[in-house]
Amino acid sequence: MTNQLMPKWKKDATEFIVKVGHHETRGEQIYIPKPIVEFLKEPDAIKFTIKGKKIEISPEK
């Protein structure tokens, strides 16, 4: 495995694209961008809610 540098997030960015890692037996894995984690105040868990054609993300502590 090679070390990949984490991207530098722009302070005024409002959209983030994340890659999904697929594992045959463990499912999917993503890395949440640092600005999102900071915005959610470093939550212990994150809740995804499907509303129509959009997904809401909120912290769960």
Of the candidates 11, 19, 3, 56, the residue with the CA atom closest to the CA atom of residue 38: 11
pLDDT in tens, the chain (61 residues): 445 555 677 778 888 888 899 999 989 998 888 888 888 998 999 999 999 999 999 998 7
Beta-carbon contacts of residue 52 (< 8 Å; ≥ 6 apart):
none
What is the per-residue pLDDT for 7?
Answer: 64
What is the per-residue pLDDT for 51?
Answer: 97
pTM over 0.75: no
What is the per-residue pLDDT for 1?
Answer: 45
What is the per-residue pLDDT for 28?
Answer: 92
Of the candidates 61, 55, 9, the residue with the CA atom closest to the CA atom of residue 36: 9
